[in-house]
Amino acid sequence: MVDNWEDFLIPYKQAVDELKVKLRGIRGEYLKTDGRSPIEFVTGRVKPVDSIKEKMVRRHIDEDRLEEDMEDIAGLRIMCQFVEDIYQVVDLLRKRTDITILEERDYVHNKKPSGYRSYHIIFEYPVQMLSGEKKILAEIQVRTLAMNFWATVEHSLNYKYQGEFPTELKDRLQSAAEAAFRLDEEMSEIRDELQETNRVDDTHNTRKPSDENSNLQ
């Protein structure tokens, strides 16, 4: 049983703070070496006590099983520019030795019925406490900026309507989710075309004059 919620949440807060620093450090390394990072920005939060209690009731989670059965008390979000960046970040997380991935849920190409898209990773993370090491469960969501915009708006509306959307609004939200994903795909195609154009230009600019003259003979 949880006697003191503030004490109970300390390791979760520490995990979020540590992982935000680590992930933002990775972004900095990418920018320094490549000039671009698959990580656009990182946010994190510890679920408020009222939300924890509400979810316990909704999911029928016993208080003495809270640490084992609630995976998102500590949560982080990694925002990316492009869909391809999501999978690059996922590969990066798989290689880390400070987290143990327990489950992956690909809602990017396997969207939820609502239209929601994101990539979820459930993992175990060791927190160093005064009493020793404590392993906690946490969740990372990786998504594009467009996916995050849709999810943020949908979440606020979901709170207002308590999950019972009018049919017309539900259909429009699904349509908006598809429009957001089409935008992601279009931006990826534009980036690929620009990169290909730059490669062609670089090849042309590096050709020697002798090469051009030999083609004229």
Q: Indicate the domain borders of the chain.
A: 5-148
Half-sphere exposure for 176 (CA within 13 Å, toward CB): 17
Question: Looking at the chain, how many residues does it have?
Answer: 217
Please pick, among 139, 186, 196, 212, the residue that the annotation labels catalytic. 139
Distance (Å, rounded) from C-alpha 184 to C-alpha 144?
A: 8
Question: pLDDT under 50 in the chain at which residues?
Answer: 214, 216-217
pTM, two decimals, is 0.87
Known catalytic membership, residue 139: yes
Q: What is the pLDDT of residues 125-177, one digit of tens each?
A: 999 999 999 999 999 999 999 999 999 999 888 877 776 778 888 899 999 99
Instruction: Name the CATH superfamily, with its identifier, for domain 5-148.
Output: Beta Polymerase, domain 2 (3.30.460.10)
